[in-house]
Structure 1
Amino acid sequence: MNTPHTHPRATEFLTIAQGGNVKTRFIQEEGENTELATMLNQYEGAIFPMGSIHYEFNDSCEPAVFIATFSDEDPGLSRTAQNFFGLNPDVVDADLTFPSFLDQTNIAQFEKTIPPAFA
């Protein structure tokens, strides 16, 4: 899984070069919370608009190769969960509406459970 992330300076075009059954998802900009989903096979592609939260997932575990191209030579990369839980714990608490399972005493521990991305 290429964990949820954004490219703040570029639109991405992702193409499956080899293999298939790669799921992609992205959320449109503010106010449009619809998750747009695709299943890509060899030589198919998907566009992720600049700044959109998106991810790729190969749940078949069969080898797959994809090529990502960008509309800018410096697209930037921001990992959504990793960066969010790196914020001040008070901000995380307030943004998550103070969930009962997560508080200032265990945010750092919870952050360590977020898997690193492969890409």
Structure 2
Amino acid sequence: MVFRCEFELGFIEDNAANFTGHIIKEGQGTLFPQGSIHYFINTQCENSSLVAVASSEDPGRIDVATSFFKALPPSMISAALGGQKVKIDENKLPTVDPAQGTEECRRRCNLL
């Protein structure tokens, strides 16, 4: 539920079948399919308020790209990438902080 500002949001359905995205404004809310890869971002350069609710079974979050390369066994990474052999230096994987927003957003809001 958005209480102040507006947010762009989007999610990917199972196996990238479809991307759904839209803008939600004050007083609006949305649902994401459980377990979907999704995002929401403040589209304006002002303070915002948003409440997000998750089930009590698993209220955490996962940073998909980093977790894919750090947590999965190399054989599973190779299978997911169509058999390509990939060598990953975990020290070069970025620390993810989605609260920082995109580079375009930080530039537009004079946060760089």
RMSD over aligned Cα, in angstroms?
2.4
Distance, in Å, in 1 between the alignment partners of 2:79 and 2:14 is 22
Distance 1:114-1:93 versus aligned 2 partners, 3 A rule: farther
TM-score (norm 2): 0.67
Distance, in Å, in 2 between the alignment partners of 1:114 and 1:60 is 25
Structure number having the greater strand percentage:
1
Distance 1:107-1:96 versus aligned 2 partners, 3 A rule: farther
Is 2:78 the counterpart of 1:96?
no
Gaps in structure 2 of 5+ consecutive residues: 100-112
Structure number having the greater helix percentage:
2
Pick one of 33, 41, 47 that aligns with 1:57: 41
Is 2:8 the counterpart of 1:23?
yes
Q: What one-letter code is carried by the residue in structure 1 that aligns with 2:10? A: R
Distance, in Å, in 2 between the alignment partners of 1:60 and 1:17 is 14
- Which has the higher relative contact order, 1 or 2, with Cα contacts under 8 A spaced 6 or more apart? 1
Gaps in structure 1 of 5+ consecutive residues: 1-14
State how many pairs are aligned: 96
TM-score (norm 1): 0.63
Who is 2:108 aligned against? none
Identity %: 22
